[in-house]
């Protein structure tokens, strides 16, 4: 392996535990995402991955009521927790459609109060450590959502409130409402962040740093784009990237060129591209933890190595230079 200071190196150390934003809760510096439970991974594989996570020291698990459809991922995670519940920190989310009913989605008080009970039942627990507003709901005033979260906090059904996939200005507005009305405040944000999707660097990361928000980034591998299997421009895709919804997200040909160039750097450094992609995302100073998704025990171990990789400023900059920062676009609310 090259010895130049321009390259990262492995450090022999175990997982570390970090503060979850302004809260007093500490979590492993890598979070295991359970989106594969019940879809890409059956219950026995999920058990093997969960057990391996715990052996490695991971105490942070991310879920959502919509994962695998009909709450299947939550149900599998609930079966796995058992007597381990008090030693782990779990998240889940609300907003995506859970039925065909006209009120079966969103962030209305009605939907939130229904879905939190469903999530608690499936997870076999009496409280959710971090409850996320999964998406922005244009039909529900943020005051209504925050009031519902506040009531759930007071009831002890959720410990902390989080938000995912919201624009930074909307999060800032919600924090202002929380201050003014003395309501539950978002303590955790969960944005997409990887080498070819860097929009979070514009305003969301600075907001999080100023406001003391914990940042959990999802999709550090860009749905498998930043792996050797997809680092080609031939058009043949594997894994999640073979699915239409993920391929559409990364269909720009330049993304695949970036992936190939990124994998060449990983080969030069002597590390697996998937591990390096997680390490790069985790190395941003605003990021608290990356969320890793896996479909096998072997993948879990490989991704966990990322937090033991010393990403030098030189290597981070070299990787960052592969992809330009996105063009900043102000969300239009009035035509």
The pLDDT of 176-191, averaged and rounded, is 98
Q: Residue 2 above 60 pLDDT? A: no
User: For residue 292, what are its two tokens?
Assistant: 């890793």
Chain center to CA of 135: 13
Global pTM reads 0.92
Over the stretch 17-28, which tens digit does the pLDDT of each residue have? 999 999 999 999
> Is the pLDDT confidence value at 207 over 80?
yes
* pLDDT exceeds cutoff 50 at 10: no
The yes-or-no verdict on residue 235 having pLDDT over 80 is no
Q: How far apart are CA 199 and CA 257, in angstroms?
A: 19
| Active site (annotated) includes residue 67 | yes
State which of 2-6, 72-76, 250-254 shows the largest mean pLDDT.
72-76
Whether 322 and 195 have beta carbons less than 8 Å apart is answered as: yes
pLDDT band at 334, cuts 50/70/90?
very low
- Where in the chain are the domains? 16-190
Closest CA to 324 of 254, 275, 256, 243: 254
- What is the per-residue pLDDT for 328? 59
pLDDT given at position 242: 63
Mean pLDDT score of the chain, rounded to an integer?
A: 91
Whether the per-residue pLDDT at 240 is higher than 90: the answer is no
Top CATH class, 16-190: alpha beta
If you average pLDDT over residues 109-135, what whole number do you get?
98
Local confidence band at 4 (pLDDT 50, 70, 90 cut-offs): very low
| Greatest extent of the chain over all pairs of C-alpha atoms, in Å | 60
User: Which of 67, 136, 193, 246 is an active site residue?
Assistant: 67
Residue 146: other Cβ atoms inside 10 A? 22
Residue 194: predicted pLDDT: 97
Statement: residue 233 has pLDDT above 70: no
Check if the beta carbon of residue 278 is closer than 8 Å to that of residue 290. yes
Report the pLDDT value the prediction gives residue 229, as an integer from 0 to 100: 78
The residue among 46, 42, 45 whose CA lies nearest residue 34 is 46
Q: Is the pLDDT of residue 6 over 60?
A: no
Lowest-confidence region among 4-13, 186-195, 245-254: 4-13
pLDDT of residue 53: 96
Tokens of 222: 């860009």
Q: For residues 222-239, give the mean pLDDT.
A: 76
Radius of gyration of the chain (CA): 20
pLDDT band per the 50, 70, 90 thresholds, residue 12: very low
pLDDT of residue 123: 98
Higher per-residue confidence, 162 vs 235: 162
Q: Which residue has the higher pLDDT, 86 or 236?
A: 86
Q: What is the pLDDT of residues 27-61, one digit of tens each?
A: 999 999 999 999 999 999 999 999 999 999 999 99
């Amino acid at each position: 392996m090259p010895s130049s200071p321009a390259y990262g190196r492995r450090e022999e150390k175990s997982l570390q535990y970090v503060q979850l934003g302004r809260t007093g809760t500490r979590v492993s510096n890598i979070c295991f995402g359970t989106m594969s439970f019940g879809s890409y991974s059956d219950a026995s594989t999920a058990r093997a991955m969960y057990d391996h996570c715990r052996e490695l020291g991971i105490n942070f698990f991310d879920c959502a009521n919509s994962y695998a459809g009909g709450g299947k991922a939550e149900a599998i995670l609930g079966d796995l927790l058992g007597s381990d519940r008090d030693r782990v920190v779990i998240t889940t989310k609300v907003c995506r459609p859970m039925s065909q009913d006209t009120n079966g989605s969103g962030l209305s008080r009605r939907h939130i109060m229904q879905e939190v009970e469903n999530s608690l039942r499936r997870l076999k627990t009496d409280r959710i450590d971090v409850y996320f507003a999964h998406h922005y709901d244009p039909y529900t005033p943020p005051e209504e959502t925050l009031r519902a979260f506040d009531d759930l906090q007071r009831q002890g059904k959720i410990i902390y409130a989080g938000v995912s996939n919201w624009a930074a200005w909307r999060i800032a507005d919600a924090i202002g409402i929380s201050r003014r009305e003395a309501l539950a405040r978002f303590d955790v944000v969960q944005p997409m962040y990887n080498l070819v999707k860097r929009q979070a660097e514009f305003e969301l990361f600075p907001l999080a740093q100023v406001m003391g928000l914990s940042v959990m980034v999802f999709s550090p591998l860009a749905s498998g784009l930043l792996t050797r299997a997809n680092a080609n421009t031939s058009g043949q895709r594997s894994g999640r990237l073979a699915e239409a919804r993920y391929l559409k997200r990364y269909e720009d040909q330049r993304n695949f060129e970036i992936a190939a160039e990124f994998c060449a750097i990983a080969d030069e450094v002597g590390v697996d591209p998937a591990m390096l992609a997680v390490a790069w995302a985790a190395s941003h100073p605003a990021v608290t933890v990356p969320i890793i998704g896996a479909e096998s025990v072997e993948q879990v171990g490989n991704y966990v190595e990322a937090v033991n990789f010393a990403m030098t400023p030189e290597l981070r900059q070299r990787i960052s230079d592969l992809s330009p920062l996105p063009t900043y676009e102000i969300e239009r609310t009035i035509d």
